[in-house]
Chains A and B, each alone.
Chain A
Amino acid sequence: MRPVYIVGAGMTRFGRSELPLVDLAGTASLAALRHASLGKVPVDGVVVANMGGSRINRQTALASALVDRLALYPAAAEAVENGPASGASAVKVGFQAVASGMADVVLVVGVEMMRAVDGLEGTDFVASLSHPEVEYIYGVTLPSLAGLFARLYMSRFGVERRHLAMVAIKNHDHAMKNPYAHIHQPITMEGILTSPEAVVNNPLVADPLCLFDCCPVSDGSAAVILASKDIAERLSGPRVRIAGMGQATDTHAVHEREDPTDLRAVRLASEKAFAMADAKPADVHVAELHDAFTILEIAESEAAGFFKRGEAHKAIERGETRLGGRLPVNPSGGLKARGHPVGATGVAQLVELTWQLRGEATDRQVEKAKVAYACNFGGFGNNVIATVLRKEER
C-alpha cells in the first residue's frame, strides 16, 4: 500500500448557504485546491460525500456535476452516501485509490444543504437512517436515539446534565476562534442550566437532552486533496499523512446491541486505525469527535481509548479536553458549534486536523500537534470510521 498524504484542505463557513449544492461543493473544492497549490499536477479522481441531495435537494450524480463545474474532466468521479459517515467514507475511497496506485491526486469533498427544507422534513430525512421496521415506525428520530442513549449512559456512569453542558460550553468557546463555524455564540452554565431562564433558553429536545446538547442544522462543504508520496514531496508545506483508517459496523437497531451504552463500532474502528498507524490513544495531541449530541463526545472519547469507561466526564470537569488542556477535543467547535452539514462533517473534521498539524489553526492552534484523531459516527453508531493523521517532518 502506498502512503497517502493530505496536501490541501479547505471549507466554506458552515451555516446557511444560498448557493446551489454543486457551487457550495465547488467553493470548498477550490479552497482546498488553492491550499494544495498543485500547479500543473492534474487531479485524477473526485469523490463527493453527500447524504441527502437526492431527497432534499432533488439532485443526483453529484460527482459528475462537480467535475463539470470545476472543469476537471476526464477525472474519475463518484459520490458516496454512507449516512452521517459519508464524509470519512469518501476520504477512505480516495485513500484507497491513491494507496492502490489507481490515482495520484484525489479531491474529496463533502457537502450538504440541510436548510433547503424545513426542520420537520430535515429531522425526518435524517431519521430515515434508523431501522424502518423496528425504530422509524415508532417515531424514532436521531435526537430520540440520543435521548435514550443518554439516559441509560448517565444513570450507569454518574454523568450529570452539567457535564453535558460543559461539553456544549467548551465547544461553543472553541468555535468563537473558528471563522468557519456555524455558531458564534458563547454560552454559560447559568444561561443553559442553572438560572431560572435556562428552561426557556434551553428547552428539552429529547429528555434528558436539551437544545444546547444538539448540533445545529447546517449547510456547508469541506474538501481535502489527497496525494501520493511522489506528489506530496514535490509540493511545499508541511506533510500530513493519513497514517491509519479503521471502520466498523454494528447492529442497525440500537436495542439489539448486547450493551447499548457500548459504542462498539467506535472502539473497533479506532483500534484498527491506531494499529494501522502504529500509534496509541496516548500519542494523540488533538481530536475531532462526532458530537452531534454532547453525550456522544463523552462516550466516543472513552470508546476511542482516550479515557476509561465512565471517566471522560471527570476529565471534562478538569478541563482536560479544552484548548490548552491535556487532549483538546473539537478545537473547531465540533458538530455542536462548527455545525453538522451531514455529508460534509467527516471531511470537515480532517480539514481541521490538517490545519492543526500544519500549524495553520490560528487562535485555536494546539501547540506542537503531531498526531491527530477523528471519529466520524454514522447512523447511531452502526457505521463508524476512525482516522489517525500524522505530521511528517521534511
Chain B
Amino acid sequence: MSEAVYGAKCTACGAVSYPRHLVCPKCRGEAFQPAEIGGEGVVLTYTDVYALAIDYDVRYLRLAIVELDGGLRVTGQLLDEEPKLGKRVRTTVGVVRETAGKAIYGLQFVPA
C-alpha cells in the first residue's frame, strides 16, 4: 500500500484535499477518510528545473502541476518527452525521491 498516494476526504462535505489538513479548508470539518489520489487530467503548468535539491543525481527534473478531472490539483513529476500546456496525462505512482537509501513514492504523470 505504500505505493499509493493518499489525500484526505472530508466526511462532512466530501471535499478531497491534497495535501491533507487537520481542518477542512472548505467546511472546517475535522473528520477525514483517506482518499486515493490519481486518474487523468491536464497539465496546468510544467518546468524543467536544473536547480535541484539534494538527493537527485540527474541533470534536471521535469515537474508539473496537473489538474485532475474533477478539479483537484496535484504537483508531481512529468514523464513526457513532449510536454505541453493543456496536454492530457494520467497519474502513475513511482519513486520520486530517495533519501538516505529510502525510496519515497509519489505521483508521476505520463501521456494519457
Contacts and interface: CB of A to CB of B under 8 A. Distances in A.
Most central of A120, A123, A204, A256 by chain B CB within 10 Å: A256
Interface of B: 17-20, 25, 44-56, 60-61, 63-65, 73-77, 85, 96-97, 104, 106-107
Contact of A124 (B25, B49, B54, B106): B54
A127 B104 CA distance: 17
Given A151-B85, A152-B45, A134 B50 contact: no
Range for the number of chain A residues in contact with chain B: 35 or more
B57 to A, nearest CB: 11
Contact of B49 (A121, A137, A147, A251): A147
A203 B49 CA distance: 11
Given A134-B75, A206-B51, A252 B19 contact: yes
B7 to A, nearest CB: 9
Contact of B75 (A120, A127, A138, A142): A138
A207 B78 CA distance: 14
A148 B47 contact: yes
A134 B49 contact: no
B35 to A, nearest CB: 14
A37 B53 CA distance: 45
Closest 8 CB pairs of A and B: A147-B47, A144-B49, A152-B45, A143-B51, A255-B73, A207-B48, A206-B49, A134-B19
Given A134-B19, A137-B97, A137-B106, A120 B44 contact: no
Given A137-B97, A139-B52, A144 B61 contact: yes
A135 interface: yes
A123 B53 contact: yes
A203 B60 CA distance: 12
Contacts of B106: 137-138
A155 B85 contact: yes
A139 B96 contact: yes
A3 to B, nearest CB: 37
Nearest to B56: A139
B53 A255 contact: no
B97 A144 contact: no
A152 B44 contact: yes
Contacts of A152: 44-45, 65, 85
Contacts of B45: 148-149, 151-152, 155, 260
Nearest to B96: A138
Nearest to A257: B73
A340 B67 CA distance: 33
Contacts of B25: 251, 256
Given A120-B52, A123-B52, A134-B18, A144 B47 contact: yes
B65 A139 contact: no
A207 B73 contact: no
Interface string A230-274: 000000000000000000000111111000100000000000000
Nearest to A132: B19
A250 B48 CA distance: 25
Nearest to B62: A207
29 contacts: A120-B52, A124-B54, A127-B53, A133-B19, A134-B18, A137-B106, A138-B61, A138-B97, A139-B77, A140-B63, A141-B52, A141-B53, A142-B51, A143-B51, A144-B47, A144-B61, A144-B63, A147-B47, A148-B45, A148-B64, A149-B45, A152-B85, A205-B51, A206-B47, A207-B49, A251-B25, A253-B18, A255-B75, A256-B18
B73 A206 contact: no
Contacts of A35: none
Nearest to A127: B53
Nearest to B75: A255
Nearest to B17: A256
A252 B55 CA distance: 22
A253 B75 contact: yes
Interface in A107-142: 120-121, 123-124, 127, 131, 133-142
Given A139-B63, A141-B53, A256-B19, 13 more contacts: A121-B54, A123-B52, A127-B53, A133-B20, A138-B76, A138-B97, A139-B77, A148-B63, A151-B47, A152-B44, A206-B50, A209-B47, A256-B18
